[in-house]
Structure 1
Amino acid sequence: MDVAPPPSCRNTNPLFFPGTRTIKPKFIRALRWIFTCCDHDKDGTLSDLEMNDFHDLKLFNFALNAVLHPPAPLYFPETMTLKPRCVKALKSIFIRSDHDKDGALSDAEWNALQVKCFNRRVQRNLSEGVNRTGLTLTGFLKLHELRLKDRRLEYTWSMLRKHGYGGDLKLRDDYIPASFKREPDQTVELTNEAVEFLKNIFRSFDLDEDGALQPADLEDLFSPAPESPWERAPYKDAAVETALGGLYLDGFLSKWSLMTLLEPAKSLANLIYIGYPAETTSAFRITRQRQVDRKEQQSERNVFQCFVFGPKRAGKSAFLTSFLGREISESYVSTPEECFAANVVIDSEGTKKTLVLREIPEDGFKLLMSNKDSLADCDVAIFVHDSSDLTLWNRASEMLFDVAQHGENSGFEVPCLIVAAKTDIQLPSALEPEDSLWVPISEGLEAPILVSMMLGYGRDVFHRIIDAAKSPHLSIPETEAGRSRKKYTQIFKQSLIIGSAVGAALLAYSQCTAGDSTSC
């Protein structure tokens, strides 16, 4: 269908009466016919339209086609070439249809794509953009450009919509089939199948086989996606990078784990964009509730999230920077927003785990504590303080008390560790705070871990964080109120058990006295 308006419509306006904004009756009839077809999802007929209406229906053909198959997102009208985002979407479709990953669509793959989108097989070959194995990406894109030049926009739009794209040339929300409904203390992780797929993708783009993907490689990898998902916070600079800003395999997988933890739907969409071949439900798993982990006294998670608390100037940002192996600045720069750092850590059993550090700014601490479920997805919390400044230590202990109290009230208690930073300035001789908050909650907690990120001292702290997260029943601080509540609960449960036993004994005795005493 030609989407260009007919010449008779360019200088006149047959839709309205001259000098008014009143629609002509014949167009009202045509509009009713169009809306009837749309409302009832049927082709409809022109039997209720007058014959002399047909001449001006070309305008409606133009308008209707522009609504159903808008040209603006697809191509530049001046050059009749595809727009970058359209190229990205079509490239993603090509990659998803290239099942053997040989860079071309074979006859079988091309026919399968045609049947999926148009319910018909290929009728003729394209001489341009074809190699010995089939239709190449260049030929695939050229085919769509030829269709656009012929004003066959419905061809491209049908293929895009069949593969889940909306009008913005992004995957629609309803196309993401996996359900991520979960309890607050459950998280989403990549499955082994998804990790293996990502490893293979990494190797296929590591053309120089140096074990790293440089920025140009990453740009090429995400070229089927509307945009790179890691160009902005919280993913930018959130993993170990090469000197040129690229990613090693562990850093590459760490960013995927971070994105899956924070935004599983976004992670799934990008897996689809780059050609994840299996059922999308096989890409993720929902972890067991952390409350259950605490009862079982072990965690089976592969990705642990650690909240990093502490007052300003305590060294939280330096702690994250050191975790990523970067040089630490000696000048202080305030961090007003939450920051993330993800890296692979080998636990005491030699198993690789992904540790995600989440820096909580002091200014955002009260807001975090105002949310009942704010600690639900926290596997372990650390409290960083400047070991040379007792005032900062007192503030850190106050935050520790608030977190302990919040965990007791919400039911989401977390293991806690204390990190005494900047030990290169002054080794702490007395770490107890001036107030009385520290003593009631110190039982069950490990001694403060001494670290100096400037000197690289105490880097085993990251292994200790993993070990604490794997044992969610240990290192949990208790307030005096929480301890009293737990003691009361235990007494109440014991009373119920004793009461039940006494009741059962009385019932048995009454049955014996009511019956034959010799049978008792």
Structure 2
Amino acid sequence: MFLCYSNSDSSGYRDSSLHHSFFPVGKCFLFDYNFEQLVPDVFYYAQKAVLHPTAPLFDQEKQTLKPRCIRALKRIFMLCDHDMDGALSDAELNEFQVKCFNAPLQPAEIVGVKRVVQERIRGGVSDLGLTLEGFLFLHALFIEKGRLETTWAVLRKFGYNDELKLRDDILPVPTKHAPDQTVELTNEAIDFLRGIFRLYDSDNDGSLQPSEFDDIFVTAPESPWTVDPYVDAAERTPQGNLTINGFLSEWALMTTLDPSYCLANLICIGYGGDPTSALRVTRRRSVDRKKKQTEKNVFHCFVFGPKKSGKSALLNSFIGRTFSSNYTPTNDVRYVANAVEQIGGSQKTLILQEIPEDGVKKLLSNKECLAACDVAVFLYDSSDEYSWKRSRELLLDVARRGEESGYGVPCLLIAAKDDLDPFPMSLQNSARVTQQLGMEAPIPVGVKLRDSKSVFSRIVSAAEHPHLSIPETEKGKKRKRYRRLVNSSLMFVSVTVGAAVAVVGLAAYRAYAARKNT
């Protein structure tokens, strides 16, 4: 036996494409099926379960809509509430009906819908129209009554897939670009985000409290920065509130790591411009190197170094975290991002990616691992000779990979823990190595003394000049000399052949002229 619904006394939304009213309020009755009737019904309901699954929408145990479904329906409600008065007027309801089901509503049907909502839920209807509470109630009722196809039709019309995320086909993310090109937010998207920050900063204190931050993503599938790699990746106030720099830096990080996810969240929180205007692809880094300048606004820095060299302390200081003497090893890749003020008043966003020592070999096994890296820094404990030697080894490994792959990157050495006594011959050894590789002298940093701020400006400056600070190993120098020799030899051969051809041509002309005269 199957539970069915009669449309004989129905009123409310009509769905002509599905041949039933959007909101049925008819009589419930039961049918006994014989075997011939049962077989096609089994296939029908099996197909319905696949096309219109219950699990993403409804919690059967709690008998409530699931959070992700509520978030999606909230976004749809807000998109349809054109006058933003918190309710769907009759005209807005009718427009919604036409958009989703290609059929207008009659005045009596609108009255019927609102009457049912009023009878079942307080606050579902106001003087202005159907409220968000009423809108959510209707969909919960559809699902309870087995009318999942109605809610799914609405969700799919507004671009959602079966996981209640925006479909890829409505996310025009640039995918065809070279490995050494990255994706950034455009100025238009950044201006939109600044406006969002100001809008949700209700107390105007220049930061977002957790509740204010959560409100921004109430129409997204979930709050995107509560899990790795985004959690604890940006600057916050001592009270734990997100600053404007932290807010924009998180977006820059998300754009760099997952442009599609970034664009989906932008659209979900209300970005109304052309989605193609939100992202831009940067110029190839190899071209930047030839032109000796870059147009990038976001720089990605790999942070290498042996264990206990101070990598985590450097990252923490970058986002304003206090120094801790407790050592906690980093086992996974970690990111932080923040804005860096440059000389002249320009501001760039710097992303620091901490590479655990144990993960370097795996990273470098990928030929294109350095393609997305704008600059690399190598930390060592200036009081520990082993730390220096290990950092030098890592630097040489990265330099070799850069030479082999063609993705050589500017590199800087950072002498961390400068507040401690250096090991013997520290300055001499580091000066010799940097001179051999054609690099700057190591930058002394004492994170414990909170004097690391200038180092981040140095890192950005190195990234802004992609043709400088690229280390050259002996093997790389030999390869370059060999290429120069080959090129000069080819040039010599070309000139020689050209001269010979010219001489032969002149001799032939003279012989021809002599025969003509005789």
Q: What is the TM-score normalised by the length of structure 1?
A: 0.84
Question: What are the equivalent positions in structure 2 for 1:122-201 lying under 5 Å apart?
Answer: 122-124=105-107, 125=110, 127=114, 129=124, 135-148=130-143, 151-201=146-196
In the alignment, which of 33, 47, 70 is matched to residue 53 of structure 2? 70
1:104-150 CA distance string (max 9 Å, x none): 55666554443332223343435465667665433432343454455
Once the two structures are TM-superposed, the CA of residue 224 in structure 1 deviates from its matched residue by 1.4
Alignment CA distance shift 1:106-1:305 (3 Å): farther
Alignment CA distance shift 1:514-1:149 (3 Å): same
| Structure 1: tracts of 5 or more residues without a match | 16-24, 31-56
- 1:214 is the counterpart of 2:209: yes
Contact 1:96–1:276 (CA<8 Å) still a contact in 2?
A: no
- 1:358 is the counterpart of 2:338: no
Contact 2:3–2:31 (CA<8 Å) still a contact in 1?
A: no
Question: Which stretch has the larger CA shift, 240-249 or 320-329?
Answer: 240-249
- 1:82 is the counterpart of 2:70: no
Contact 1:394–1:433 (CA<8 Å) still a contact in 2?
A: no
Paired position in structure 2 for 1:445: 439
Contact 2:382–2:415 (CA<8 Å) still a contact in 1?
A: yes
Instruction: Return the letter of the residue paired with 2:208.
Output: L
Once the two structures are TM-superposed, the CA of residue 462 in structure 1 deviates from its matched residue by 0.4
Paired position in structure 2 for 1:44: none
Q: Secondary structure at the match of 2:426?
A: coil
In the alignment, which of 245, 248, 261 is matched to residue 266 of structure 1? 261
Once the two structures are TM-superposed, the CA of residue 82 in structure 1 deviates from its matched residue by 2.7
Identity value in percent: 51
Alignment CA distance shift 1:518-1:137 (3 Å): farther
Paired position in structure 1 for 2:318: 323
Contact 1:189–1:287 (CA<8 Å) still a contact in 2?
A: yes
Instruction: Return the letter of the residue paired with 1:511.
Output: G
In structure 1, C-alpha distance between the alignment counterparts of 2:85 and 2:314, rounded to whole Å: 45
Q: Secondary structure at the match of 2:299?
A: strand
Instruction: Return the letter of the residue paired with 2:52.
Output: H
Alignment CA distance shift 1:501-1:221 (3 Å): same
Paired position in structure 2 for 1:93: 76
Contact 1:421–1:453 (CA<8 Å) still a contact in 2?
A: yes
1:257-296 CA distance string (max 9 Å, x none): 1011111111122112212212222111111111111111
Question: Which stretch has the larger CA shift, 308-317 or 197-206?
Answer: 197-206
In structure 2, C-alpha distance between the alignment counterparts of 1:471 and 1:427, rounded to whole Å: 30
Alignment CA distance shift 1:475-1:434 (3 Å): closer
- 1:511 is the counterpart of 2:505: yes
1:458-478 CA distance string (max 9 Å, x none): 420000000000000001110
Paired position in structure 1 for 2:486: 492
Once the two structures are TM-superposed, the CA of residue 324 in structure 1 deviates from its matched residue by 0.8
Paired position in structure 1 for 2:463: 469
Contact 1:380–1:414 (CA<8 Å) still a contact in 2?
A: yes
Once the two structures are TM-superposed, the CA of residue 350 in structure 1 deviates from its matched residue by 1.5
1:232-252 CA distance string (max 9 Å, x none): 111100001123322111101
Paired position in structure 2 for 1:48: none
In structure 2, C-alpha distance between the alignment counterparts of 1:219 and 1:366, rounded to whole Å: 39
- 1:239 is the counterpart of 2:234: yes
Instruction: Return the letter of the residue paired with 1:95.
Output: M
Q: What is the TM-score normalised by the length of structure 2?
A: 0.84
Q: Secondary structure at the match of 2:336?
A: strand
Paired position in structure 1 for 2:25: none
Paired position in structure 2 for 1:121: 104
Once the two structures are TM-superposed, the CA of residue 2 in structure 1 deviates from its matched residue by 6.1
Instruction: Return the letter of the residue paired with 1:347.
Output: Q
Question: Which stretch has the larger CA shift, 488-497 or 193-202?
Answer: 488-497
In structure 2, C-alpha distance between the alignment counterparts of 1:499 and 1:100, rounded to whole Å: 77
Contact 2:382–2:416 (CA<8 Å) still a contact in 1?
A: yes
